């Protein structure tokens, strides 16, 4: 059997998913963590549960709502687990009523009951279940209370195919007459399409074209339906959406008045409001954010990060020396030894040495997310983003982009406007992903030892500033129009969970190590081969005569104006398309003596600027292609990003040449 896990954003959906399955999906104190379907098997069973994106409605305004609605309608799960935040029960029940209209076996998992009790609230579970017409199970997902009972009730509901007993929430009046009149018209069509007549009726009243197409209604019936809706709107004095919302909220109000004793305002909420007076202050919010981020970068790339990275590099170098000595004593062929030591170990080792920096950075970023501060950043940045033509909701993909471009591009699915979505996809690659950290650290070790943290911070903010300028320009040229209004859940501040922080750090470390021993190994072997042999596959003494040298020299003229026309740097940029970390491994293989003799400080700064802004890796390009739905548009974005990187790097090189 398959169960669909559905609920509002930040209601504890992913936490419940982990409790049910034993999986370790990332859980953040941040709305919109889930941007796609996640599958898992419930512990002790062979039943599958699907964690769907957090939504407030199944009226398909955004891609996440479309994903959830389509899964329920097309995959026809055996039961729906509707997770409801008991601390915000009125708002959460709005989605519940829509799910009940689908007429599918449903169980309400009433989450955060521990918080309700702690704040002197109470909920009559049996009465609430009777009023909603579905089983209601009190749980605390984070403490794993009530999980076994929930599994038992869901299994029983699914096996016995118990559909909701109540789905008619309207009282006699114009809305009631409209709903029932249209229901009679579409009933036969809904049965043929295997859709709940009640759900189809509600969606048609709200002018859902997809449902109309699914039911194959003729023009005559559509006209009759429109006349019923117009009559209701005239009598009710509200448009159809407001009238339906009012009907549902009146039903919810009646239910809560009978079954819910509201908890007092929690200490956590009071504390959060007081903290927000400072952290979301009209004038102080952005300077505080800048100070926090700069401090994180200083710790990461300053004394602590440098100390750990340097010592880790010593350990790696010692390991390479041991292998080199062993192979020399063994008398292995020099070419094979060169492949292993100068190719694979030097390339992979140079990248792995930066692992401590990534762990430190994500330790702090996961704390910011887990405390709930990231959601405040989105709120604070909304006003600024709207001035450059973006919705505040775009901040979510941008923040994810500092980790990896691939999930950041996927996160644009949460944007309700196609205009906002495409513009955000265009800008996300300018956010500096963690794969670029080894490049920054590698170059700053050579050229900016005393100003490492400053250069790192400048690169991160440089990407943001570039995105702001491009968005402002495109908002007036190619993406005209106003961004969609921004609504986001503000979670309470909370102490970061050790498990959540360690889990996120482990995910990043695991991903980094996997890439080091798969993609980067393959890339370094290829680079070693291409720089060791000529076009006739003879071993070369001079790497400039190799296959790689011949290919790189063709592109040298393009990059000479940027200060790094040497074919080896051009080659490193090309291999960086496989994975950005391979830029470092490629340079280690091609220039084992160091890069200081080939670059000036100004050209090093230019190279860093280019790597910051040019096209992301192939995986990110594939994600852009998937989300844009067009190969031509994707190629256009790639060319545009390279052009922007070239122009900005050229500008930086010219300015740096004057002052440095």
Whole-angstrom distance, CA of residue 628 vs CA of residue 618:
15
pLDDT, average across residues 634-644: 92
Average pLDDT of every residue of the chain: 84
Q: DSSP readout, 581-623?
A: THHHHHHHHH-TT-STTT--HHHHHHHHHHHHHS---HHHHHH
pLDDT, average across residues 413-434: 82
Q: Are residues 20 and 136 in the same domain?
A: yes
Residue 567 in tokens: 């074919």
User: Which of 104 and 498 is assigned the larger pLDDT?
Assistant: 104
Query: Which range has the top average pLDDT, 18-32, 368-382, 453-467?
Result: 453-467
User: What's the CATH number where 250 sits?
Assistant: 1.10.287.1770
Q: Are residues 18 and 127 in the same domain?
A: yes
Query: Which range has the top average pLDDT, 393-407, 437-451, 537-551?
Result: 437-451
Whole-angstrom distance, CA of residue 187 vs CA of residue 103:
14
- Judge whether residue 32 has pLDDT over 60: no
Q: Are residues 147 and 191 in the same domain?
A: no
pLDDT category of residue 480 using cuts at 50, 70 and 90: low
Note the pLDDT of residue 29: 46
- Judge whether residue 629 has pLDDT over 70: yes
Domain ends where: 220, 243, 260?
260
Three-class DSSP labels, 219-242: HHHHHHHHHHHHHHHHHHCCCHHH
Whole-angstrom distance, CA of residue 300 vs CA of residue 435:
15
How does pLDDT run across 548-583, given as a tens digit for each residue?
778 778 888 899 999 988 888 888 888 888 778 788
Residue 245: give the domain boundaries.
Answer: 174-260
Percentage above 70 pLDDT, the chain: 93
Q: Are residues 6 and 132 in the same domain?
A: yes
Find out whether 85 and 121 touch, Cβ atoms under 8 Å: no
pLDDT category of residue 485 using cuts at 50, 70 and 90: low
Q: Are residues 38 and 103 in the same domain?
A: yes
Find out whether 553 and 534 touch, Cβ atoms under 8 Å: no
- Judge whether residue 589 has pLDDT over 80: no
pLDDT, average across residues 187-192: 90
Find out whether 78 and 53 touch, Cβ atoms under 8 Å: no
Does residue 144 lie in a domain region? yes
Which of 523, 531, 526, 528 has the alpha carbon at shortest distance from 583?
523
Note the pLDDT of residue 67: 79
Domain ends where: 94, 126, 159?
159
pLDDT, average across residues 231-251: 92
- Judge whether residue 483 has pLDDT over 60: no
Residues β-bridged to residue 80: 4, 106
- Judge whether residue 196 has pLDDT over 70: yes
Note the pLDDT of residue 617: 82
Number of residues that this document lists for the chain? 660
pTM exceeding 0.85: no
pLDDT, average across residues 415-432: 83
pLDDT, average across residues 503-521: 73
Q: DSSP readout, 319-375?
A: HHHHHHHHHHHHT--HHHHIIIIIIIIHHHHHHHTTHHHHHHHHHHHHHHHHHTHHH
Whole-angstrom distance, CA of residue 120 vs CA of residue 267:
12
pLDDT, average across residues 298-313: 81
Find out whether 385 and 543 touch, Cβ atoms under 8 Å: no
Q: Are residues 131 and 30 in the same domain?
A: yes
Does residue 646 lie in a domain region? no
User: Which of 182 and 363 is assigned the larger pLDDT?
Assistant: 182
Q: Are residues 180 and 35 in the same domain?
A: no
Does residue 99 lie in a domain region? yes
Q: Are residues 193 and 126 in the same domain?
A: no
Q: Are residues 152 and 188 in the same domain?
A: no
Does residue 132 lie in a domain region? yes
Does residue 581 lie in a domain region? no
Does residue 164 lie in a domain region? no
User: Which of 241 and 510 is assigned the larger pLDDT?
Assistant: 241
Does residue 56 lie in a domain region? yes
Burial 207-216 (b: 16+ CB within 10 A, else e): ebeebbebbe
Whole-angstrom distance, CA of residue 568 vs CA of residue 574:
10
Residue 280 in tokens: 């979301």
How far apart, in Å, do the first and last CA atoms of the chain sit? 66
pLDDT, average across residues 612-617: 88
- Judge whether residue 651 has pLDDT over 90: yes
Find out whether 122 and 87 touch, Cβ atoms under 8 Å: no
pLDDT category of residue 30 using cuts at 50, 70 and 90: very low
Whole-angstrom distance, CA of residue 499 vs CA of residue 143:
13
H or E, element range at 137 = strand 136-138
Does residue 459 lie in a domain region? no
Q: Are residues 44 and 142 in the same domain?
A: yes
Whole-angstrom distance, CA of residue 426 vs CA of residue 303:
35
Which of 107, 111, 105 has the alpha carbon at shortest distance from 89?
111
Q: Are residues 24 and 93 in the same domain?
A: yes
- Residue 287 CB partners (closer than 8 Å, separation 6+): none
**SS3 at position 417:** coil
Q: Are residues 124 and 201 in the same domain?
A: no
- Judge whether residue 515 has pLDDT over 70: no
Cite the beta strand spans of 112-188 per DSSP E. Answer: 122-123, 136-138
Note the pLDDT of residue 416: 64
Q: How many domains does the chain have?
A: 2
pLDDT, average across residues 510-525: 72
Which of 159, 162, 118, 114 has the alpha carbon at shortest distance from 138?
114
- How many C-beta atoms surround the C-beta of residue 140 within 10 A? 22
Domain ends where: 260, 289, 322?
260
User: What's the CATH number where 61 sits?
Assistant: 3.40.50.300
pLDDT, average across residues 458-483: 80
């Amino acid at each position: 059997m398959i169960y669909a896990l559905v609920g509002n954003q930040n209601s504890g959906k992913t936490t419940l998913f982990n409790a049910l399955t034993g999986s370790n999906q990332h859980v953040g104190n941040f709305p919109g963590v889930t941007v796609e379907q996640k599958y898992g098997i419930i512990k002790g069973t062979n039943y599958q549960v699907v964690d769907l994106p957090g939504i407030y409605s199944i009226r398909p305004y955004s891609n996440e709502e479309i994903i959830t609605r389509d899964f329920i309608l097309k995959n026809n799960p055996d039961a729906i687990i509707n997770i409801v935040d008991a601390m915000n029960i009125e708002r959460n029940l709005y989605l519940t009523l829509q799910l009940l209209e689908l007429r599918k076996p449903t169980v309400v998992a009433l989450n955060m009951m521990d918080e309700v009790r702690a704040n002197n609230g109470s909920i009559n579970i049996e009465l609430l279940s009777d009023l909603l017409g579905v089983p209601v199970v009190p749980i605390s997902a984070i403490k794993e209370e009530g999980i076994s009972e929930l599994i038992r009730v869901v299994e029983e509901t699914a096996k016995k195919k118990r559909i909701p007993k109540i789905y008619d929430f309207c009282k006699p009046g114009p809305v009631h007459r409209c709903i029932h009149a249209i229901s009679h018209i579409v009933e036969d069509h809904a049965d043929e399409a295997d859709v709940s007549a009640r759900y189809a009726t509600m969606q048609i009243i709200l002018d859902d074209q997809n449902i109309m197409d699914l039911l194959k209604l003729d023009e005559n019936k559509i006209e009759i339906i429109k006349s019923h809706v117009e009559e209701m709107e005239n009598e009710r004095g509200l448009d159809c959406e407001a009238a339906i919302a009012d009907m549902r909220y009146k039903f919810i109000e009646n239910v809560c008045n009978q079954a819910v004793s509201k908890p007092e305002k929690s200490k956590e909420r009071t504390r959060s409001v007081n903290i927000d007076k400072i952290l979301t202050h009209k004038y102080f919010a952005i300077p505080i954010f800048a100070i926090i981020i700069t401090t994180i970068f200083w710790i990461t790339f300053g004394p602590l990060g440098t100390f750990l990275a340097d010592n880790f590099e010593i350990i790696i170098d010692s390991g390479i020396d041991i292998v080199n000595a062993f192979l020399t004593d063994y008398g292995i062929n020099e070419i094979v030894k060169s492949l292993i030591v100068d190719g694979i170990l030097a390339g992979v080792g140079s990248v792995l040495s930066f692992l401590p920096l990534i762990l430190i950075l994500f330790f702090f970023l996961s704390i910011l997310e887990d405390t709930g501060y990231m959601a405040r950043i989105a709120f604070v940045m909304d006003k600024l983003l709207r001035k450059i033509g973006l919705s505040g909701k775009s901040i979510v993909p941008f923040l994810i982009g500092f980790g990896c471009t691939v999930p950041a591009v996927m996160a644009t699915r949460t944007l309700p406007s196609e205009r906002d979505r495409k513009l955000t996809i265009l800008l996300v690659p300018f956010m500096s992903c963690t794969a670029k950290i080894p490049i920054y650290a590698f170059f700053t070790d050579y050229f900016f030892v005393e100003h490492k943290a400053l250069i790192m911070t400048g690169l991160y903010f440089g990407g943001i500033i570039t995105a702001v300028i491009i968005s402002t320009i495109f908002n007036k040229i190619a993406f005209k129009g106003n961004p969609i209004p921004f609504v986001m859940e503000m979670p309470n501040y909370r102490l970061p969970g050790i498990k959540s922080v360690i889990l996120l750090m482990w995910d990043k470390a695991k991903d980094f190590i996997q890439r080091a021993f798969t993609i980067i190994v393959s890339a370094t072997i290829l680079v070693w081969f291409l720089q060791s042999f000529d076009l006739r596959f003879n071993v070369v003494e001079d790497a400039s005569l190799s296959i790689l040298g011949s290919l790189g020299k063709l592109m040298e003229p393009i990059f000479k104006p940027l200060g790094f026309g040497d074919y080896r740097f051009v080659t490193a940029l090309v291999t960086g398309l496989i994975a950005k970390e391979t830029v470092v491994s490629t340079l280690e293989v091609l220039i084992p003596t160091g890069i200081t003799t080939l670059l000036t400080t100004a050209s090093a700064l230019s190279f860093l600027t280019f790597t910051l802004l040019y096209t992301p890796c192939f995986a990110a390009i594939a994600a852009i292609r998937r989300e844009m739905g067009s190969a031509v548009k994707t190629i256009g974005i790639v060319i545009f990003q390279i052009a922007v990187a070239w122009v900005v790097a050229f500008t930086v090189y010219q300015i740096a040449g004057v002052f440095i």
